[in-house]
Amino acid sequence: MSDAKLQSVLSSLSKVHRQLDSLPSSPAPDAKYVKLNTNENPFALPEAVMESAVAALERQYLYPEDNNTSLRKAAAASYDLSTDQVIAGNGSSELLSLIYKAFLDPGDSVAMLSPGFAFNHKLALLQGARLLEIKWGEACLLPMHKLLFGPAKEAKFILLANPNNPTGTFVPIADIESLVAQSDRLIVLDEAYVDFAPDSALRLIDRYSNLLILRTFSKSYAAAGIRIGFGLGHPEVIGRLRNIQNMFNMNVIGHAVGVSILAHRAAYDENHSHIKYERERVSVALSQLGFSVTPSHANFLLARVPAGRDGTWWHACLKRRKILVAVLPDDGLEDCIRVSIGTKPQMDALLAAVEDILGVQTFR
C-alpha cells in the first residue's frame, strides 16, 4: 500500500481512534527471564483443573455457550448469589470495557482512585470520556469528601481496587460500604487480588444496588492465560451489561477451567499461603537492603528504591540480570518498582540480583 493510500485509510479512522498510535510488535520475553512484572501466579493448575482443560479440547469443534450459563451458575453457587447477579467475561478487563460502553457517552466523566489501573486511561479515551484521577488520602484512606462532593461529583461511576494496584494497600470493608451507602452512582470495585487480602465486599452486593464487584482468576488461581473474569452485582445492572456483550465471548476451555476452579478452590490454599509467606520474606529482605516497601495485601510489592537512583534505572539493571520488574508511570512513583511474588527460586534470584547491583552480600 502506498503512503498516500495509507494516509487515506488512516484519515478514515474515528476522531478518537486517530489519537491512538498503532502498537508496535514486541517479542515475548525469553524463557530465561524471571518474569516478575505482571502479577501472574506462576504455579501449575491443580490436577483436577488441568484435566478439565484437556477434556474441553475434545469439544473444540463446538461453539461455547453463548450466555456462559454453566459458568455463571457455578460462580453464583460458589459466591452465594443468584445466576442473574453474575456476568462472566474473557478476563475482568473485558467486563471493565463493557462498563465503560454501557455507562459513558462522549463528554461524560468517570472517577478513578489514583494511582490505579492504567488501562482505564485508554478505556475512557475510547468512549470520548474524561478520566478524573482522585488521589488516595493519607495512609491510603478513601478520600470520601472528594468522591462524594468534590471533583468526582458528576462522574457516572467511581472505580477503585481493593487491594489496590500498584500499591497493594487494603481499605477496610466498612469504609467501602460507607462510600457505597452515601453515593447514588455506580461504584465499581475491582477485587482482583482479594484472595490475598483479609476481607471482601462480597457480602455488600445484596444490600446495595449501586455496587458492582469485579473478580478474576488471573491472579490467585493461576489462569491468566485462559482469561476468566466475573462481574457480580444487581440483576438489572448485570443484565444490561450482558446485553451488550459479544456472543461466544469465552471459549470452551475457559468455561471448563472456570467451573473446575470454582469446584476446587480449596486446592489453591497452599498456593495462596506460599505467596503470602514469600511476600513477607521478600518485603523484609528488600527493607534490609535499603528499599522502602509498602505493606501489601496482594501478590506483589511496591518498593521505593534506595536513594540516588530511580525505578527506571533499577528496572534496567535488573533486566540485564534477566529479572523483569514493573516501573510505574504515576506521579510520585518514579522512584519505585513493583515486584510480583513468584516461586521461592524466583524470589531468591531477585534478591541475589539486587545484592549484586548493590555490591553487598547478606545472610543468604
Q: Residue ranges per domain, the chain?
A: 3-44+269-358, 47-263
85's grid cell: 447477579
Q: How many CB atoms lie within 10 A of CB 275?
A: 25
Residue with cell 534506595: 306
Q: Where are the beta strands (DSSP E) in the chain?
A: 34-35, 86-89, 109-114, 130-135, 157-161, 186-190, 211-216, 229-232, 292-293, 300-304, 323-324, 326-327, 336-340
Number of helices (H), then strands (E), belonging to the chain: the values are 12, 13
Residue with cell 445466576: 83
pLDDT digits (tens, 9 = 90+) for 196-225: 999 999 999 999 999 999 999 999 999 999
pLDDT at 28: 63
- Spatial neighbors of 307 by CB under 8 A, at least 6 apart, are none
Residue with cell 469446584: 263
CATH class, domain 47-263, is alpha beta
d(CA 193, CA 275): 12
pLDDT digits (tens, 9 = 90+) for 283-331: 999 999 999 999 999 999 999 999 999 999 999 999 999 999 999 977 8
CA distances from 249 to 144, 229, 231, 245 (A): 36, 11, 14, 7
Phi, psi of 37 (to 5 degrees): -120, -5
Of 271, 227, 347, 277, the closest CA to residue 339 belongs to 347
pTM: 0.92
For 55, how many CA atoms within 13 A lie in the half-sphere containing its CB?
Answer: 11
User: Tens place of pLDDT for every residue, the chain, 364 residues?
Assistant: 458 866 777 777 777 777 777 666 566 667 789 999 999 999 999 999 999 999 999 989 999 998 999 999 999 999 999 999 999 999 999 999 999 999 999 999 999 999 888 899 999 999 999 999 999 888 778 999 999 988 888 899 999 999 999 999 999 999 999 999 999 999 999 999 999 999 999 999 999 999 999 999 999 999 999 999 999 999 999 999 999 999 999 999 999 999 999 999 999 999 999 999 999 999 999 999 999 999 999 999 999 999 999 999 999 999 999 999 999 977 889 999 999 999 999 999 999 999 999 997 654 4
Structural fold of domain 3-44+269-358: Aspartate Aminotransferase, domain 1 (3.90.1150)
d(CA 254, CA 233): 21
pLDDT digits (tens, 9 = 90+) for 260-281: 999 999 999 999 999 999 999 9
Of 11, 2, 25, 33, the closest CA to residue 342 belongs to 33
Strands 292-293 and 300-304: antiparallel
Residue with cell 553487598: 360
Please report which helix (H) or strand (E) contains residue 78, including its range: helix 69-79
Of 181, 203, 179, 207, the closest CA to residue 191 belongs to 203
pLDDT at 44: 93
